[in-house]
């Protein structure tokens, strides 16, 4: 079973199964783009900052608004549905490779 996230308008949309599996109990995340990979890192201390993980609906879907991150990489207009994600234990992050045609646009 493949679990995916969506990205549009500078926000990362996380379905409830992703949140329950990887980000349960997390109220904020850090969104990064590095090496053509979108990374969502949990923030465990409120003073550490990050983007609020806002609840979208009663099903438990969440959204993190990170306009500044996507704009800094020239990807503010990025719109992708069902982007496959996996947990990277080395990075302690939920990772999704940016699709090839968009990866070429990522500012270094």
Whole-number average pLDDT of the chain: 89
Q: How many CA atoms lie within 13 A of 61 on its CB side?
A: 12
Closest residue by Cα to residue 86 from 43, 44, 38: 38
| Residue 26 located in a structural domain | yes
| Residue 108 located in a structural domain | no
In this model, does residue 103 exceed pLDDT 60? no
Strand partners, 42: 29
Rounded mean pLDDT of 95-107? Answer: 69
| Residue 65 located in a structural domain | yes
**Count: domains in the chain:** 1
Query: Roughly how many angstroms between the first and final C-alpha of the chain, as a whole number?
Result: 33
| Residue 32 located in a structural domain | yes
pLDDT tier at 48 (50, 70, 90 boundaries)? confident
Q: Domain limits at 84?
A: 4-103
| Residue 21 located in a structural domain | yes
| Residue 86 located in a structural domain | yes
CB 88 within 8 A of CB 33: no
| Residue 57 located in a structural domain | yes
Between 28 and 1, the more confident residue is 28
């Amino acid at each position: 079973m493949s679990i995916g996230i969506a990205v549009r308008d500078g926000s990362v949309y996380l379905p409830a199964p992703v949140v329950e599996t990887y980000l349960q109990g997390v109220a904020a995340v850090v969104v990064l783009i590095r090496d053509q990979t979108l990374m969502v890192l949990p923030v465990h201390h409120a003073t550490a900052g990050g983007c609020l993980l806002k609840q979208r609906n009663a099903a438990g879907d969440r959204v993190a608004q990170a306009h500044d991150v996507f704009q800094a990489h020239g990807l503010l207009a990025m719109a992708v549905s069902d982007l496959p994600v996996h947990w990277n234990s080395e990075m302690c992050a939920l990772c999704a490779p940016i699709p090839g045609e968009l990866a070429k646009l990522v500012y270094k």
